[in-house]
Amino acid sequence: MTEHPIHIKPVPPQPFSAAAELGVQFNRLGQAWRRELDNELQAYGLTDATWRPLFFLGRLGDGIRQKDLAQALGIEGPSLVRLLDNLEAQDLVQRRDSPTDRRSKALYMTPAGRAISAQVREVADRIAAELLASVNEDEFAISRGMLEKIDEALRARSGKKRSHPDD
C-alpha cells in the first residue's frame, strides 16, 4: 500500500471588518490596562482578589448589595462570597443585613478597607493619566461619546437597563 501525502492548502488570514476589529482592540486594551493595574498594585501587596472588590466598593459606595458588587466585578455570587470571606478575614469589609431587604446583605468597607480603596484609586488615576496623556480633550469627548453609544447598544441588545449598578 502506497501512502499518498495529503496536501492541505493553507488558509490565508481572514481579517476582521473594521467594526469587529474595534471590538478585538477594546478587549485587548482592557486586558492590558488591567495588567498594568495588577502589576503596579502588586508592589503594594494587593492582589486582583483584593484590589478589584475594594475599588468597586469605593466607586459604588457603602451599603451596596452583594449581588450588585458581583455584577460590577463580572463574577457569580458564589465566587464573590469567597472573595468577601477573605476580605472580612482581613478586616477590610463588613457584611451587614440590608436595611431595605432582609434577604440580602449590604457591604461596608472598614477604615482599613477605605484606606486601601483610596490607594487603589490613586494608582488607577495615575495610570489612566499616563495612558491618556496623548489624548486631547476633543478626542477624549468623542471617545467617551462613542463608548456610551456602544454601551447603550449592548444594553438594548441584552434587554438590560444597565450594564453596571453605577450607570
Q: What is the pLDDT of residues 133-163, one digit of tens each?
A: 999 999 999 999 999 999 999 989 988 654 4
* Residue at grid coordinates 472580612: 88
Residue 20 to residue 16: CA distance in whole angstroms: 6
Residue 77 to residue 61: CA distance in whole angstroms: 19
Q: What's 64's DSSP letter?
A: E
Q: What does the angle CA 78 – CA 57 – CA 46 come to, to the nearest 5 degrees?
A: 80
Is 0.75 surpassed by the pTM of this model?
Answer: yes
Structural domain 44-132, CATH architecture = Orthogonal Bundle (1.10)
Q: What is the pLDDT of residues 53-105, one digit of tens each?
A: 999 999 999 999 998 999 999 999 888 999 999 999 999 999 998 888 888 88
DSSP reduced 3-state for 128: helix
Q: What is the pLDDT of residue 83?
A: 92
Q: What is the pLDDT of residue 161?
A: 56
